Amino acid sequence: MKVLDRHHYALALLFLRILLGIILIMQGYGKIFQYGVPEVYDMFFKSYAESTFLSEGILKLTAYFTSYVEFIGGLLIILGFFRMVSYLAVAIVLIVVSFGHGLVQPIWDLQHVFFRAVMVFTLLIIPASKDAFSADQIINQIRLKK
């Protein structure tokens, strides 16, 4: 029980990182390996070129960027490796997705973005020192012992 008392922040952060990471990995995996990013572009992004001021090139770049950040960022978040970079990359994806949806449909379902945004925000505001079960923190502890 003392271990739980000492590490309750770390356990909560681990749970949050695993949950968010799984959501992101599965979403990125589907886009990259099941559909393929070109197909994802055709299904979800191509119509934006016709209905907004965004160019086809920007939209293709966005399709690749969001897909790979979701997949790689999700993995890094679970591991707790490059914490701040991965959190900020996912935050940028959420901003891009929100902007894109807002361009096409000013009133849209926020449930998926909002849920992820709350998780990323929570991870961003809690100090890294509380995240004892992250790769970054473990590496820092090893460096301090040397």
Percent of the chain with pLDDT over 90: 73
Average pLDDT, the chain: 92
pLDDT of residue 1: 61
Is 109 part of a structural domain of the chain?
yes
Is 1 part of a structural domain of the chain?
no
Is 125 part of a structural domain of the chain?
yes
Is 138 part of a structural domain of the chain?
yes
Count of structural domains, the chain: 1
pLDDT at 108 over 70: yes
pLDDT of residue 111: 79
Residue-wise pLDDT for 88-98, tens only, equals: 999 999 999 99
Q: What's the mean pLDDT in 61-81?
A: 98
**115 contact partners, CB below 8 Å, separation of at least 6:** none
Is 113 part of a structural domain of the chain?
yes
pLDDT of residue 50: 83
pTM of the model: 0.90
pLDDT at 141 over 70: yes
pLDDT of residue 49: 84
Is 102 part of a structural domain of the chain?
yes
Is 3 part of a structural domain of the chain?
no
Is 8 part of a structural domain of the chain?
no
69: domain range? Answer: 15-145
Q: Sorting pLDDT into bands at 50, 70 and 90, what band is 5?
A: low
pLDDT of residue 4: 63
Long-range contacts of 89-98 (CB under 8 A, 24+ apart): 90/20, 90/24, 90/116, 90/120, 91/117, 91/120, 91/124, 93/65, 93/66, 93/69, 94/120, 96/62, 96/65, 96/66, 97/66
Residue-wise pLDDT for 13-37, tens only, equals: 999 999 999 999 999 999 999 999 9
